[in-house]
Structure 1
Amino acid sequence: MQPSSSNTGFFQQQPIIRNQFHDDVSLQRITKLFLPSSVLDQTSSEISQLADDVLSQQVFDWITDAEHSQPYLRGGGRDAFGKPTNELVVTEGWRRLQDLGFQKGVIAVNYDSDYGPFNRLAQFIRCHLWEGSCANTLCPAAMQDGAARLLQRHLSRKSGLSPIERKVFQNAYDHLTSRDPAKAWTSGQWMTERTGGSDVSQTETVATYDPYPDPSAAPLADVDEKTPLGPWSVSGFKWFSSATDSQMTILLAKTDPSKGVSAFLAPMRRHNPSLVSATGVAGGSELNGITIQRLKHKFGTQSLPTAELELKNMRAWLIGEEGKGIYEISTILTITRVHTTVSSVGYLGRSLGVAKGFAAVREVGVGRGRRLPLSSHPLHMRTLANLTIDYHGLMLLVYYTVFLLGLSEKLPTAANARTETAPPHPLTPPARLVGPLLRALSSLHKSYVAHTAVPLIYTAMQSLGGVGYLLNEESQHINIARLFRDACVSAIWEGTTDVLAGDTIRAIKHPRDGEDVLKGLTWVVETGLDFVGGGDGGKAGWVAGVRRAWGEVKGRLEREAQGELLPDARAVVFRVAEVLLAVLYMVDAAVRPGAEIEEMCRRYLVEKAFAQDAKGVGKKDVAMDQAIVYGAGKVPGQGAAGVKL
């Protein structure tokens, strides 16, 4: 026997993380379930290349740089002589990752592609793959996406904008949807103040209409000197503002106490001809009436600059009508909430990929000198199989919501029917129910998925043992701890779990629209159960169990007033989510049947008490667990688990 040393003895073989577009069994099923074959054929090559690129060593080095060199205020916010400078510095790695996202079109693809109602699916599959490697650059990108959609909606109208407003909005939209890093913008979304997070009714930021005497001589925005600054002067304090390095922002402010809040577009910077550079060049840019008070020190998302901002005479443009800010910002919120849930399942998918790679190369003792790779260990594979089943359920709910978002923006017409060479998803709702369904699911799916994903990511982290708890910056590709830390915020921003559960109840009990919302949810459940049918004894029991559970929760929603439901909102909304997941699971298994998906569906229904675990039903051996985790016929071989030097 030879003693080990720091450089000799056993060294664990590094896990291999494979191209997730091909290796992630759930993502493969999702793409084939929701995307027509014509769209999949057009996009597969580009998406596959993205899945390779996000796992490159260069990208992992940029992640490490973004984590190590976190954003800061130069000089603590002052120059050498004590004058306020307000200069935010972000890392090179952050900028490079952001540029790569622009180039890969993770936002632009929704605006410069022609896949009809499937644009959003083609986009968010990219985001899913990018999330684990983007070092939080998808946060400002999400707000970029929401701002682009909001401006697109206003620009599509033939009236309502003055010529100068149309020019300003169009200029911003063109930048927000560009793939050119030299031209592309991100956007902030400033709502949160000290008076509350999601509750903006007590907003203390004030906007005053104060147009320049000669609009043609108005100062220019620095980001594009062809567009003037707006006629509104905005002052106040924003408590939690991400994307501080963006080129523009959408924010809320009050114009009149009796009108509620209004929405505004403002450039982040403005041109100041009186500034002088260090080399004596006259003219330069400064923040547009913004003072960065301090940067937030957060548990996660540390590479993302998040700040407290004081606004004094920030010049801005009104979006829509005064007092309609909640309506306007809801367009952005629907999109950013979907981005948040895609990030949750993106983190989870990457974490599961790492866990699968580790299980393939790590051996453990199983008694009497025998050793097994974790990929053949019955307990370990049962844990990963259960994790995979929960992951796939969340994926089904997230991507059904993405599907609805795409339908809401581009309902199928004769013009885009050419993209639909495959039958539509069995749960494609009638046009009249798309809006009400999205109204409910935008809150419901974010409340449920973002909360549920966090402990699942922790399970994947735990599956690596002690090494899973390390930050592993020297082996960034297996750094689940970073993913877990960053994923925790998803259940907080864009509305906490409780806030969005309450919002879902309000949508269902709304005196004007609530009836249609509940009709939409009922349509999904009943149509899905009718599609599944349940001809054989086992599936008939599944259908009956889900229908019974839906009847119970629907009865509460119909019977009880909003105030009665509110204390139990989380439990009620989570049960609705579980019913929807059960229906989506059964539809998935019916559309593309197979032993693995049927067993996953069965186990999910048993876990959530929709069905009983009848003796002798289902396959619970290690081979089935391996097939669920890795895919049928793709269980990794039992090679050497390490090297000895």
Structure 2
Amino acid sequence: MEPSSANTGFIQQQPIIKNQFHDDVSLQRISKLYLPPSLLEKVTPEISSFGASVLQPQIFTWITDSELNKPYLLGSGRDAFGRPAASQSLIVTEGWRKLQEFGFANGVVASNYDPSSSSSHGEYSRLVQFIRCHLWEASCANTLCPAAMQDGAARLLQRHLTTPKLVAQLGEEQKRVFENAYAHLTSRDPAYTWTSGQWMTERTGGSDVSQTETVATYAPFPSGQPVPLASKEENIPLGPWSITGFKWFSSATDSQMTILLAKTRPGLGVSAFMAPMRRWNPDIVCPTTGQKGGTELNGVTISRLKNKFGTVGLPTAELELKGMRGWLIGKEGEGIKEISTILNITRVHTTVSSMGYLGRGIGVAKAYALVREAGVGKGRRLPLYRHPLHMRTLANLTSEYHGLMLLTFYTLYILGLDEHPSPSAATQKPNHPLTPPSKLVAPLLRTLSSLHKSFICHSTVPLSFACMESLGGVGYLINSESEHLNLSRIFRDACVGAIWEGTTDVLAGDTVRALKHPAVGKEGVQALDWFVRTGLGEQAGEERERIKKVWEGLGRRLEKQKQEDLLPEARGLTHRLAEVLIAVLWIVDARVRPGREVEGMKGRWMGKHGFGLLSDDNTTETKVEGDGGLELDLAIVYGEGGPKGVVEGSVPGVSKL
């Protein structure tokens, strides 16, 4: 018997995270389900390379830097002699900047807007983009948050620059301003690329923008005089609207522009504006060189930075606006309509971020199970991947994850169809049958936009905690020394998904309102009915009949009950709708690519969510055809054949598989 010390005795081997594009069983199934085979073959080398690059040691060093060195405001707003500072300076860490530049250079946003034929994938562009975002999320230290708003702003400006009716409303000067901003937003050059803010939230009601207290006044500059510039180098003029108010929760405070909401006239709804964050001031004097002329914030004062539970590297602030100059987007009073374009994008980004955190958590848990032992009684020890209880827990967790992935990426597929209403005749069809008629795309997206985020972001929080728990005490540590294993950071950041871009209840209420809307609600119900019936097909089966029965019951409630009566039950109703959609997607997935592991996952998911086979006492239970116990669990978690590359001696007492 030899006593241990700080450096001798047993020391746990560190788990190695593999490239998740190949190691994530769910992501592989999703890619093959939603992308045509020829396109998947085309994009696989680049995505595989990207999946490896996001796990490089330098990435995790930058993450640690962004976590330990939070953003801050330089000084107190005055210089050493008491004069007001010419402009506030927001300082972000080098790690944050480097991670953001990595994202720019790798086109996490720009790839969706690349016009070249070799890079454009039509209606599949969003799917390809978000497979990459899924891989990047847990390594980006939340730089994908401003990228999400960058993406939304790019899509909004793209609509106004390509839709003939909207282009006709633009003056030549405003068109040039929009084109300049769009070029910045869709660039891959870190020195040129912009991110964007999305300023909606105020103290009056969070997501309830009807009580907005920000006011915009049309105040064009005097004719005959030079128009002040947002950018001297690019000769971009400031806008004719003067905006004043207070924004309570502004992420991406280090962005170069913003899209914001403000009121313009009493009795009129809110309007949308685009405004640069900075403007040229020829009278500013540099305090160190004496040089005259420079940029300052565009009528914006950072009141304070928020101190948050997670996402600590992301600069989030309260902003006071006094005469911020901007440009009206669309028509006065139609700001909700305009901002909805951005919300469709930022909501899927938020959902993919939640799924990216969960995917990484499962990846770490899988890797840990390969190198960690646990006692099983009477002096016996087993590696965790051979421990029946541990692997059953991971298999059930993987089943829940895959169900959420099915709905997330189907929503992205519908988003791509909405953005590309005229697919090329040469475009190859996907493997699944769930491509809706063109008239149902918009109503289906309108419903999915709120529904998928309400359910998925809420569901991933306890699942992300389960990943952290699977590592035991080491999972609870901050682990900046081994940042790639830092599941406590991932859990903290995952919690925000159920809050940002609309909380669980807000979006559940939005789903009910969309389905009960007097003008378009019936279209949404019709689209859901098409989805369920098409996905289930004509084949008989108790599982299918149970899904159909649940859907028909929900449909009757939506048809007969008033909106005000449904609203108190909106969360339960919306989440049950989400479960119906996921159940249908399970049926489709298992039919397109059958196999023991997918049947195992499907059976367990159906049983847990009330769609499984009925037992003798008329309760739902999990029944899996050919359940192989531990071996099936290994196939679910690691893929058919179980974990690869486990060699004799890597864990004490483990023989080669």
TM-score of the superposed pair, with normalisation by structure 1: 0.96
Q: Can you list the C-alpha shifts for 1:557-588, whole angstroms capped at 9, x where unaligned?
A: 11111011111110011100001000001100
Amino acid at match of 1:623: E
Corresponding residue pairs, total: 635
Inter-CA distance 29–614: structure 2 relative to 1 (3 Å threshold) = closer
Task: Give the one of 139, 142, 145 matched to 1:139.
Answer: 145
Query: Identity rate of aligned residues, in percent?
Result: 64
Indicate the residue corresponding to 1:126 in structure 2.
132
Indicate the residue corresponding to 2:458 in structure 1.
451
* Residues 92-101 or 156-165, more deviating: 156-165
Q: Structure 2 matches for 1:175-214, cutoff 5 A? A: 175-214=184-223
CA RMSD in angstroms, aligned pairs only:
1.5
Cα distance in structure 2, aligned partners of 1:110 and 1:425: 23
Amino acid at match of 1:633: G
Please say if residues 600 and 624 of structure 2, whose CA atoms lie closer than 8 Å, have aligned partners that are also in contact: no
Cα distance in structure 2, aligned partners of 1:78 and 1:58: 37
Please say if residues 207 and 234 of structure 1, whose CA atoms lie closer than 8 Å, have aligned partners that are also in contact: yes
Is 1:401 paired with 2:393? no
Please say if residues 116 and 412 of structure 1, whose CA atoms lie closer than 8 Å, have aligned partners that are also in contact: no
Cα offset, 1:620, TM superposition: 5.0
Indicate the residue corresponding to 2:616 in structure 1.
none
Task: Give the one of 623, 633, 636 matched to 1:625.
Answer: 633
Unaligned runs of 5+ in 1: 535-539
Cα offset, 1:475, TM superposition: 0.2
- Aligned residue for 1:238, secondary structure, equals strand
Cα distance in structure 2, aligned partners of 1:143 and 1:548: 40
Q: Structure 2 matches for 1:164-183, cutoff 5 A? A: 164-183=173-192
Amino acid at match of 1:524: F
Is 1:523 paired with 2:533? no
Please say if residues 261 and 322 of structure 1, whose CA atoms lie closer than 8 Å, have aligned partners that are also in contact: yes
- Aligned residue for 1:217, secondary structure, equals coil
Please say if residues 223 and 269 of structure 1, whose CA atoms lie closer than 8 Å, have aligned partners that are also in contact: no
Is 1:263 paired with 2:272? yes
Cα distance in structure 2, aligned partners of 1:239 and 1:434: 35
Cα distance in structure 2, aligned partners of 1:187 and 1:618: 52
Q: Structure 2 matches for 1:304-453, cutoff 5 A? A: 304-413=314-423, 416-420=424-428, 422-423=429-430, 425-453=432-460
Inter-CA distance 337–235: structure 2 relative to 1 (3 Å threshold) = same
Amino acid at match of 2:518: P
Indicate the residue corresponding to 1:149 in structure 2.
155
Cα offset, 1:79, TM superposition: 2.8
Inter-CA distance 579–618: structure 2 relative to 1 (3 Å threshold) = farther
Cα offset, 1:224, TM superposition: 5.1
Cα distance in structure 2, aligned partners of 1:470 and 1:199: 37
Amino acid at match of 2:94: E
Cα distance in structure 2, aligned partners of 1:92 and 1:602: 48
Cα distance in structure 2, aligned partners of 1:226 and 1:47: 38
Is 1:108 paired with 2:105? no
TM-score of the superposed pair, with normalisation by structure 2: 0.95
Please say if residues 432 and 592 of structure 2, whose CA atoms lie closer than 8 Å, have aligned partners that are also in contact: no
Inter-CA distance 516–621: structure 2 relative to 1 (3 Å threshold) = same
Amino acid at match of 1:157: T
- Aligned residue for 2:489, secondary structure, equals helix
Q: Structure 2 matches for 1:269-288, cutoff 5 A? A: 269-277=278-286, 278-288=288-298
Please say if residues 300 and 320 of structure 2, whose CA atoms lie closer than 8 Å, have aligned partners that are also in contact: yes
- Aligned residue for 1:17, secondary structure, equals coil
Cα distance in structure 1, aligned partners of 2:13 and 2:416: 43
Indicate the residue corresponding to 1:470 in structure 2.
477
Is 1:597 paired with 2:607? no
Please say if residues 361 and 639 of structure 1, whose CA atoms lie closer than 8 Å, have aligned partners that are also in contact: no
Indicate the residue corresponding to 1:537 in structure 2.
none
Cα distance in structure 2, aligned partners of 1:205 and 1:284: 28
Indicate the residue corresponding to 1:610 in structure 2.
611
Inter-CA distance 616–594: structure 2 relative to 1 (3 Å threshold) = closer
Runs of 4+ aligned structure 1 residues displaced above 2 Å come to: 76-85, 222-225, 416-419, 422-425, 612-618, 636-643
- Aligned residue for 1:256, secondary structure, equals coil
Cα distance in structure 2, aligned partners of 1:337 and 1:157: 23
Amino acid at match of 2:548: R
Indicate the residue corresponding to 2:92 in structure 1.
90
Amino acid at match of 2:553: E
Cα distance in structure 1, aligned partners of 2:469 and 2:301: 42
Higher relative contact order (CA 8 A, sep 6+): 1
Amino acid at match of 2:74: R
Q: Can you list the C-alpha shifts for 1:566-614, whole angstroms capped at 9, x where unaligned?
A: 1111001110000100000110000011111011111111111112337
Cα distance in structure 1, aligned partners of 2:352 and 2:224: 43
Cα offset, 1:397, TM superposition: 0.3
Cα offset, 1:418, TM superposition: 2.5
Is 1:231 paired with 2:237? no
- Aligned residue for 1:10, secondary structure, equals coil
Unaligned runs of 5+ in 2: 614-620, 653-657
